[in-house]
Structure 1
Amino acid sequence: MADSKDTYKTILTPSEEVLFKEKNNKFFGYAFPITNEEEVKIQLEHLKKIHFSARHWCYAYQLGTEKISFRANDDGEPTNSAGMPIYGQIQSFEVTNVLVVVVRYFGGVKLGVGGLISAYKTTAQMALENAEIIEKTIDLYYTIFFDYKNMNKVMRIIKEKNLEIVSQKMELNCEIKVATRKKNAETIFDIFSSLFEVSIKKEN
């Protein structure tokens, strides 16, 4: 059942810079973990400062675990000769929430479309090989509402089910936000829904 998959792969930290050379052209490759499109802009601006004399800053990224969004950018290279070969490597490594950037310095020798595709693909592959790929769980978030007097029974279930407490507000009316793996989410929801004087709401 495809829907029961509740893990995904991403990279732990930005990769070390890699360099691929082809006929005097230099291709520098980078992979970054990202959580939103704003981070894409930040990383690109940073690389443009480092490589201010480069010719092209081509990239691809993928975000999301169930709803996927992606973008591939050729940055002035012939259509689909840079961004898509980079994105192909993101797919090949089966990672998400990842940005891969390849910076090109023109060395005076044109590579042709085939040569560019190969160079961008190889550099992206090297960047991802250089990154530490980790597996994470797809978590769902719930807020549990209850009166202070019901604290013990709520906390007992949180402990029994090994739920992660994201935030809590302990007053006369208490709220605890918890995270649980997707595959356990329905069970957790049912347990708290059936408790007397306790309510639960799914967060987006």
Structure 2
Amino acid sequence: MGQEQNMPPSYRTVYTGGEGKYEEKKSVFIATVRHVETEEEAVAFIDEMKKKYWDARHNCSAYVLGSRSEQMRASDDGEPQGTAGRPILDVLIGASLTNAAVVVTRYFGGVLLGTGGLVRAYTQAARDGIDNSVLTEKIYGTILEIGAEYTDVGKLQYLLAQQSVPVLSSEYLDKVSMRVILPAQDADRLIRDLTEATAGRADIKKADSTYYCEVDGEIIM
């Protein structure tokens, strides 16, 4: 269980990406936000935006990866150094987001904006994109597998409902089998409660650990 102790209990990320738009002196800045899990996904997303907006002057980008935000990249894509990619990255960091990527596309309007104008424009476009996205918090959880006799099902269901523990699956054969998920730090307490409620008759084991979130009543791994 040492790995569990090293994992952050939760992190904030993008569930559904959105778009933002900012205009200044006829230049148009279009931000696209996407959830990504790996560097390969982030690079593919950036390439996708470059193909979609092939006629734009710049497609600047930034992404943050890892449950501890341990991997960060930013690209100015031809804009003056530090005026595009870094401001976009700062917006992601400021929003405490990880496993997220933003591409801000610029259609040049013919008027130079200067360093300050570029930073402001890329920052605002990225913020608008995030504001128009659906964000979620992923929790580091433990999946428990529970086996029990039919006579104990009512007690188990009561405890799980009382503690708002989502049931991932149930199987009713000669015995009842359930898979549930809950924050990792609460798993040992629930095991004790279920064991006590069934006088030790329930067979409970930790099956796996993963990050998850709940969206509209559905568990998303």
Fold-level similarity (TM above 0.5): yes
- The correspondence for 2:18, drawn from 15, 18, 26, is 15
2:16 corresponds to which letter in structure 1? Answer: T
2:216 corresponding residue in structure 1: none
Deviation string, structure 1 residues 28-87 (Cα, Å, up to 9, x no partner):
11223x1513553454344233311123222223345x5324433213444433222111
* Unpaired stretches in structure 2, ≥5 consecutive residues: 1-5, 210-221
Distance in 1, matches of 2:14 and 2:57, equals 27
Q: Under a length normalisation based on structure 2, what TM-score does the superposition of the two structures give?
A: 0.67
Q: Under a length normalisation based on structure 1, what TM-score does the superposition of the two structures give?
A: 0.72
Distance in 2, matches of 1:141 and 1:123, equals 38
Question: What is the deviation of 1:6?
Answer: 5.8
Map residues 1-204 of structure 1 onto 2, 5 A cutoff.
9-11=12-14, 13-22=16-25, 24-32=26-34, 34-37=35-38, 39-41=41-43, 43-64=45-66, 66-74=67-75, 75-111=77-113, 113-129=115-131, 131-132=132-133, 134=135, 136=137, 138-149=139-150, 152=153, 153-172=155-174, 175-181=177-183, 184-192=186-194, 195-204=200-209
* Unpaired stretches in structure 1, ≥5 consecutive residues: none
Question: What is the deviation of 1:25?
Answer: 3.4
Kindly indicate whether the alpha-carbon contact (under 8 Å) linking 1:148 and 1:170 is maintained by their aligned counterparts in 2.
Answer: no
Deviation string, structure 1 residues 116-141 (Cα, Å, up to 9, x no partner):
33332222123223x25555462513
Distance in 2, matches of 1:67 and 1:148, equals 41
Q: Is the partner of 2:16 in helix, strand or coil?
A: coil
Distance in 2, matches of 1:114 and 1:17, equals 20
Question: What is the deviation of 1:101?
Answer: 1.5
Q: Is the partner of 2:59 in helix, strand or coil?
A: strand
**1:8/1:67 CA distance change after superposition, 3 Å:** closer
Question: What is the deviation of 1:201?
Answer: 0.7
Question: What is the deviation of 1:202?
Answer: 4.8
Distance in 2, matches of 1:136 and 1:103, equals 27
Kindly indicate whether the alpha-carbon contact (under 8 Å) linking 1:27 and 1:105 is maintained by their aligned counterparts in 2.
Answer: yes
CA RMSD, Structure 1 to Structure 2 (Å): 3.5
**1:199/1:92 CA distance change after superposition, 3 Å:** same
